[in-house]
Amino acid sequence: MDRGVSTIEARITDAAHGLRIDKALAEVVPDLSRERVKALMAAGHVAGPDGPVSDGKRKVAAGQQFVITLPAAVPLDTVAQDIPLVVAYEDDHLIVIDKPAGLVVHPAAGNLDGTLVNALLHHCAGNLSGIGGVARPGIVHRIDKDTSGLLVVAKNDVAHEGLARQFKDHSIDRRYLAIAAGRVLTSAGTVDAPLARSPNDRKKMAIVRSPLAKHAVTHWRKLRQLRDASLIECRLETGRTHQVRVHMASIGHPLLGDPVYAGRRPALRAELERLDFRRQALHAATLGFIHPVTSNALAFDSDVPADMQELLDHLHV
């Protein structure tokens, strides 16, 4: 696939016979995800034997032919900026960044520049995924501004689609180190609780029991007992917004320094202020996945950043 308009001719295989058209096309065109197919259909870019196709629920038959038009990417109105990056790995298809706390991933209101996207536009000199119809760096997943650690970015559409499928299938190995308030009495556990925007505060996420909530699962284990706190490893089965922060708070152990979910009387507040630790104590320490082009298994580890290490040393028992 190039950066201009291109077309894909897709023939429904025997294995895809009887499937919904969006699922069938995603099966026979591995470079496209089901969500991408839906978006292309909605935009009138998928044609079948009888003309344009807009109903993704329609069933297909083996042997049917479809033509998918991939429009040229719309330029992103974001400036490339020479912002230093810590690169854990890079090849022609993807790049793994070790993000410092304080760096926003994507431009948004209040953070229109100085973001990871601005840095990537400079570092990769335009060689970035245009998936989704917009010429933007291939941000497959994000971590919060004040969370540090590893994330992978796609450089081309094939890599983007392949990584997106792994995230959707929950096959990516993502492990976070968190310093949680209080003495965690059990050695390990799982929080299986759906997340959605809080009905009381739209800036927050919350455990919500409704059809609108998204399935969210965090597996955690205690690594070390600290003074009035615990070092926890959280393995994400899903990757929802603020997942670790909300799930740990839900079991009575919010993350130290969390400005949103730590409650009105956050634990060790005075000591955190003395150390000038002003973020949630959360670090994306491990990232593992199958390379979407070479099929090699890749795994990366990131050392605890200096501010979290200072906090760990201070709370050592």
For residue 211, give Cα distances in angstroms to 16, 109, 145, 167, 194: 29, 29, 28, 21, 9
Give 76's pLDDT tier (boundaries 50, 70, 90): low
pLDDT of 91 > 60? The answer is yes
pLDDT of 130 > 70? The answer is no
pLDDT of 205 > 90? The answer is yes
Any idea what the Cα angle at residue 88 is, between residues 245 and 99, rounded to 5°? 35
Give the residue-averaged pLDDT of 146-175. Answer: 92
Count CB neighbours of 80 within 10 A: 16
Give 75's pLDDT tier (boundaries 50, 70, 90): low
Please name the residue ranges forming H helices in the chain: 21-28, 34-42, 116-123, 157-168, 243-250, 269-274, 306-315
Structure-model confidence comparison of residues 110 and 124, the more confident one: 124
Q: Which residues are catalytic?
A: 144
The answer to whether the CB of 174 falls within 8 A of the CB of 155 is no
Give the residue-averaged pLDDT of 220-230. Answer: 97
Count CB neighbours of 256 within 10 A: 29
Structure-model confidence comparison of residues 86 and 200, the more confident one: 86
pLDDT at 127: 67
**Range with the lowest mean pLDDT among 25-39, 180-194, 195-209, 278-292?**
25-39
pLDDT of 183 > 60? The answer is yes
pLDDT at 2: 44
pLDDT of 157 > 90? The answer is no
For residue 221, give Cα distances in angstroms to 8, 181, 230, 231, 312: 47, 14, 10, 9, 17
pLDDT at 36: 78
| Range ranked top by mean pLDDT from 1-5, 122-126, 217-221 | 217-221
Give the residue-averaged pLDDT of 210-236. Answer: 95
Tokens of 233: 């490893």
* pLDDT tens track for 269-309: 999 999 999 999 999 999 999 999 999 999 999 999 999 99
